[in-house]
Structure 1
Amino acid sequence: MEDPKPYHLELNEQALLREFDQRVRDGVVIYDDGHKVIRETYNGFPFQFRIFTGHASKPEVSTSGKSSSASSTMISSKVSAARRPKTPEYLPGSDISLTGFEIRNSSGYVGPAHHMIFNKFCAARPHYLLLTRDGHRRQHESLNVDDFGTLCGVLAALNKDHEAKKPEARRYFGMFNCGIDGGCSRLHKHMQVLAVPEEPDSGLWPDSASKYENQQCIPFKYYKHDIDGRVDESERRKTAWAKYLEFVSDTRRALKKAGHVPNAPSGVDVTQIVPHNIILTREWLLVVPRTQAGINGADANAAGYLGMVWVSDEERVKKWIDQGPPEVLTRLGLPNDS
Structure 2
Amino acid sequence: MNHLQEPYLMIYNCGVDAGSSQGHKHMQLWPYQDREKIGFDLFPSYAKSTTDVTSDIPNVPHQHFVLRLAENAQVEEVVKAYAKLLHEVHKCHEQYGSTAYNVAMTKEWLCLIPRRDCGISRGAGSNAAGVLGLIWILYNEEKKIWLEPSLSGYMQFLGVPRSTAGLS
Q: Which runs of 5+ in 1 are unaligned?
A: 1-154, 161-169, 263-273
Query: CA–CA distance in 2 between the matches of 1:233 and 1:239?
Result: 6
Shift of 1:202: 4.3
Pick aligned residue for 1:180 from 16, 31, 34 = 16
Pairs within 5 Å for 1:176-325: 176-197=12-33, 199-209=37-47, 213=56, 216-229=58-71, 232-234=72-74, 237-258=75-96, 260=97, 262=98, 274-294=99-119, 296-325=122-151
Query: CA–CA distance in 1 between the matches of 2:9 and 2:150?
Result: 27
Aligned partners of 1:225 and 1:240 also within 8 Å = no
Shift of 1:196: 2.4
Query: CA–CA distance in 1 between the matches of 2:73 and 2:59?
Result: 33
Query: CA–CA distance in 2 between the matches of 1:256 and 1:304?
Result: 24
Shift of 1:201: 0.9
Q: Normalized against structure 2, the TM-score is what?
A: 0.80
- Is 1:156 aligned with 2:2? yes
Query: CA–CA distance in 1 between the matches of 2:30 and 2:20?
Result: 16
Pairs within 5 Å for 1:16-55: none
Over residues 182-233 of structure 1, what are the superposed CA-to-partner deviations in whole Å (9 max), with x where a residue is unaligned?
01010111000001246251432222347xx57x32111011011111xx54
Q: Equivalent residue for 1:103?
A: none
Shift of 1:313: 2.1
Aligned partners of 2:115 and 2:158 also within 8 Å = yes
Moved more, 192-201 or 327-336: 192-201
Amino acid at match of 1:195: P
Over residues 84-143 of structure 1, what are the superposed CA-to-partner deviations in whole Å (9 max), with x where a residue is unaligned?
xxxxxxxxxxxxxxxxxxxxxxxxxxxxxxxxxxxxxxxxxxxxxxxxxxxxxxxxxxxx
Greater RCO, CA 8 A, separation 6+ = 2
Amino acid at match of 1:321: L
Q: Which runs of 5+ in 2 are unaligned?
A: 49-55
Moved >4 Å (runs of 4+): none
Please state whether the residue corresponding to 2:59 is helix, strand or coil: coil
Amino acid at match of 1:281: T
Q: Equivalent residue for 1:328?
A: 154
Amino acid at match of 1:156: N
Amino acid at match of 1:254: C
Query: CA–CA distance in 1 between the matches of 2:59 and 2:47?
Result: 10
Query: CA–CA distance in 1 between the matches of 2:138 and 2:62?
Result: 24
Q: Equivalent residue for 1:130?
A: none
Please state whether the residue corresponding to 2:144 is helix, strand or coil: helix
Pairs within 5 Å for 1:73-152: none
Query: CA–CA distance in 1 between the matches of 2:92 and 2:40?
Result: 31
Alignment RMSD, CA only? 2.2
